[in-house]
Each structure stands twice: as C-alpha cells, then as structure tokens.
Amino acid sequence: MKKDIERVLIDEAVIEHRLDSMAKEIEEDFPAGPIIVIILLKGALVFAADLLRRIPRELSIECLNVASYHGGLESSGTVDFLDRHFPEVKGMHVLLLDDILDTGRTLAAVAQRLKQEGAAAVHTGVLLAKDKKRATDVKADYVGFQIGDEFVVGYGLDYKGKYRNLPYVGILKLSAAT
C-alpha cells in the first residue's frame, strides 16, 4: 500500500491531536440528553471510531450506507440511500459524521433526510473538508482539517476499496489511480 502513496498529507500523531480537540468541542456544544451518532459508511468508520472513544458521554451509534462516488475519483452527483431501514431519529440530537466534505452533496442529502425524519437538531462533523466551491450550500459544524482539492486516501478513505486502513491521510500516486 505504502508504495502507492505520493506523500503523507496528515500523519497519525497530528490526526490524534486534532481528534482530542474536536471531541472536546462536541462534548461542550451538545446539550445534556441523548445523542445519536450517524456514521456514514464506509469512509467515516475509522475517524468515527477514534473520535467517539474520546467523547465521555452516553450516545447511541447507527451507520448508514450511502453512495456518491461509486468507487472512482469523481463524485457521481447523486446520493443513493442503500439501507432498507432508516434509523429512528425523531426528537433526537444527531451528530452526523462523514469522512470528507467535497461537493457537499452527501452531507446535505443525509442532513436533509434526518430533518425530514424528525431529528430535533442535526450537527455535522467531518475529518476533512476540501477547499473548493461546494455544489450545494452546506457546511460542517466540526472540521478536522481543511485540505486542498486533491484526491486523498487513508484513515478510512479509499480508492476502489483500498487504502482505508492506512493510519494517515495521503495523496495517491497517479500511477496507482488506474
């Protein structure tokens, strides 16, 4: 895997340090009471696992399967909900976690659906936000790192299903993106 990485963009120690402060921000912001965390699979899995263990709060966890990239380098422009059942969120404060904010379509579509399903409030958190114009007017409440408009892998993010278990965020070599 390592041989396919052009360079490390954010190393493990820096990620861990930032997760400490993100967890603190979330812990301070959320009102007392139940929180439901919605993790967008599969990209946010690693980020969420490390972040949530830093939040000393009672919370429940649900996962959602949505597809927007279909395995390639470009967003497809549509967001598909792949699960048969949608988690029960009525009246709940939701923390929605995704790996990366790119065009913004995924986060916007899921946040809208959560509101339609009756969530009392939807807060959004991403590990990464690409510095680019979004296709839709959406912002994340908690952003780990702002990055340039480059395709990245590692720490949950993949290219064609690979590299999710790299402990850092890196840029893929062009030769590996075939």
Please identify every residue annotated as catalytic.
102
- Per DSSP, 85 falls in state S
Q: Which of 146, 178, 143, 144 is nearest to 160 (CA)?
A: 178
Instruction: Identify the bridge partners of residue 125 per DSSP, sorted by sequence position.
Output: 97, 142
Any contact of residue 124 with ligand XMP (CB under 6 A)?
Answer: no
CB of 124 to ligand XMP, least distance (A): 11
Binding span for ligand XMP by CB under 6 A among 18-26, 56-64, 110-118, 146-154: 146-154
CA distance 22 to 19: 5
3-state secondary structure of 22: helix
**Contact assessment for residue 164 and residue 71, using Cβ atoms and an 8 Å cutoff:** no
Q: Residues for the chain: how many in total?
A: 178
Q: Which is nearer to ligand XMP, 48 or 98 (CB)?
A: 98
One-letter amino acid for residue 15 of the chain: I
Any contact of residue 103 with ligand XMP (CB under 6 A)?
Answer: yes
CB of 104 to ligand XMP, least distance (A): 5
Binding mask 33-62 for ligand XMP (x = CB under 6 A): -------x--x-------------------
Residues of the shown chain interacting with ligand XMP in the complex, contacts defined by CB under 6 A: 40, 43, 68-69, 75, 98-106, 151-153, 157-159
